[in-house]
Structure 1
Amino acid sequence: MTGSARPQGGRRYRGRSTDELRAERRQRLLDAALARIGRRGYAGLTIERVCSDARVSTRHFYEHFGSREALLQALFERFTDDTRRIVGEALSSGDGDPMERALGAVAAFVRFALADPARARLAFIETVGVSPDMERRRRDAIGHFVSLIAGAAEQLAERGVLPRRQFHLAAVALVGATNELIVEWLSGDTGLSASQMERAIMDLFRTLIMGARARSGAAP
């Protein structure tokens, strides 16, 4: 056998493989795009400016993303992947009170969304009305969280915490209310900090649960 095996990812530059360099460039493009969307919105996003901010060439941009919208979709996918992981971990953590676990999952989602205003603006404002494909992705994400809330409510009903009923429309309403409250917070008109807005949203969920219990006489 002659020669030597090439390192995984091809040639190395300053100790990093070409695959590692590609991954770093992609990450820089995503981070630069998110920062610019946070400042100027999707309408103010151009490939040239993102490449300049990320210190990559437009040739490298097109190695990762076929268009400006593809970049937006990648950012939104990163947001939804992160939130699904965070909510899933909260729902499956521990063996405590099921209602508090469900509320903890909602709080984890809201806290993550509000922790970075640029990220929240991307997810709740800048993806709206971009294209039919982007709208489908957005509706799919909303549907996923509607299903999670409805499923958690059904589990609470099985334990006697909530009355038995069809929870889909209630879950749609709660997801929509959460979405609009976050958009209102992003406007800056509420005067609330991120932690105060989180408490306001959680108060809404708790009030609705308490009202459902009181109306049906479900066990506390």
Structure 2
Amino acid sequence: MTNATRTWAGTTLADRRAIRRQQLIDAGIELLGGGDTAAVTVRAVCRTAKLTERYFYESFADRDALMLAVYEHVAESARQAILNAMVDVEPRPEALARAAVTAFVELLIDDPRKGTVLLLAPITEPALNKRGSELLPTFTAMIHDQLPDSYDETDRKLTATSLVGALTYLFISYLDGSLDVPRDRMIDHAVRMLVAAASP
């Protein structure tokens, strides 16, 4: 039996490490989601997670490694929320679009911390600049795959990329307060954009 598989109080060392890592990620979401990237220090994260720095370095090499893990955790949560919302939906453009947009809004707009991490932090945080750009194709591909067969491949790429850009700016503007509109109107508008693209 390895150290990682020995149990203590019913959990293995690997389990406890995973729990501590998630505590640190949750603390990172709390701090980075506050909008002040300078506030995200190793000491502040440990204080928020109620863990010592020893446990921080058990999971992360440095602050930037944590920032990337926080960003990727939120991005994957958003991707999964959208996919899960579309599983049992009637396969019509309007129904699929509304399910996807609503899931995104519920995760990232109704919890502004997560929205800030995914949409605003990459603009100001150097550790996330490149990764933010690298993950955009993930969401572009989700729209690309829903477009009708009447599009050729070039049109699919152009349309999906344009929609991701427009929707990203829409949600950023809503999050930072520069777009003062009712939540349901914003959702309806985003749905109409997607439906229009799926109905050339």
Amino acid at match of 1:181: L
Q: Give the secondary structure class of the aligned counterpart of 1:88.
A: helix
Alpha-carbon distance in structure 1 between the residues aligned to 2:178 and 2:87: 36
Residue equivalent to 2:71: 76
Deviation, structure 1 residue 62? 0.5
The Cα offsets for residues 83-141 of structure 1, whole Å up to 9 and x where unpaired, read as 222223344435x333135313344233322131000001111123544x743422232
Cα 1:20–1:164 shift into 2, 3 Å? closer
Q: Give the secondary structure class of the aligned counterpart of 1:145.
A: helix
Contact (CA 8 Å) 1:47, 1:58: kept in 2 or not? yes
142, 147, 151: which one aligns with 2:141: 147
Amino acid at match of 1:164: Y
Alpha-carbon distance in structure 2 between the residues aligned to 1:25 and 1:200: 40
The yes-or-no answer on 1:46 pairing with 2:41 is yes
Contact (CA 8 Å) 1:29, 1:50: kept in 2 or not? yes
Residue equivalent to 2:62: 67
123, 132, 142: which one aligns with 2:118: 123
* Identity level (%): 24
Deviation, structure 1 residue 48? 0.4
Contact (CA 8 Å) 2:82, 2:103: kept in 1 or not? yes
Cα 1:107–1:9 shift into 2, 3 Å? same
The yes-or-no answer on 1:176 pairing with 2:190 is no
Q: Determine which structure has greater relative contact order: mean sequence separation of CA pairs < 8 Å that are 6+ residues apart, divided by chain length.
A: 2
Deviation, structure 1 residue 71? 0.8
Bigger mean CA offset, 144-153 vs 197-206? 197-206
Q: How many residues align structurally? A: 197
Query: How do residues 1-220 of structure 1 correspond to structure 2 at under 5 angstroms?
Result: 9-12=5-8, 14-94=9-89, 96-103=90-97, 104-128=99-123, 130-131=125-126, 134-153=128-147, 156=148, 158=149, 163-165=150-152, 166-206=155-195, 208-209=196-197, 213=200
The Cα offsets for residues 125-168 of structure 1, whole Å up to 9 and x where unpaired, read as 1123544x743422232112112212211xx2x3xxxx534221
Contact (CA 8 Å) 2:101, 2:190: kept in 1 or not? no
Contact (CA 8 Å) 1:37, 1:45: kept in 2 or not? yes
* TM-score, scaled relative to structure 1: 0.76
Contact (CA 8 Å) 2:94, 2:191: kept in 1 or not? no
Amino acid at match of 2:134: D
Cα 1:17–1:87 shift into 2, 3 Å? same
Deviation, structure 1 residue 43? 2.2
Extract unaligned runs of 5+ from structure 1. 214-220
Cα 1:6–1:149 shift into 2, 3 Å? closer
Larger radius of gyration: 1
* TM-score, scaled relative to structure 2: 0.83
Contact (CA 8 Å) 1:111, 1:195: kept in 2 or not? no
Q: Give the secondary structure class of the aligned counterpart of 1:127.
A: helix
Extract unaligned runs of 5+ from structure 2. none
Q: Give the secondary structure class of the aligned counterpart of 1:75.
A: helix
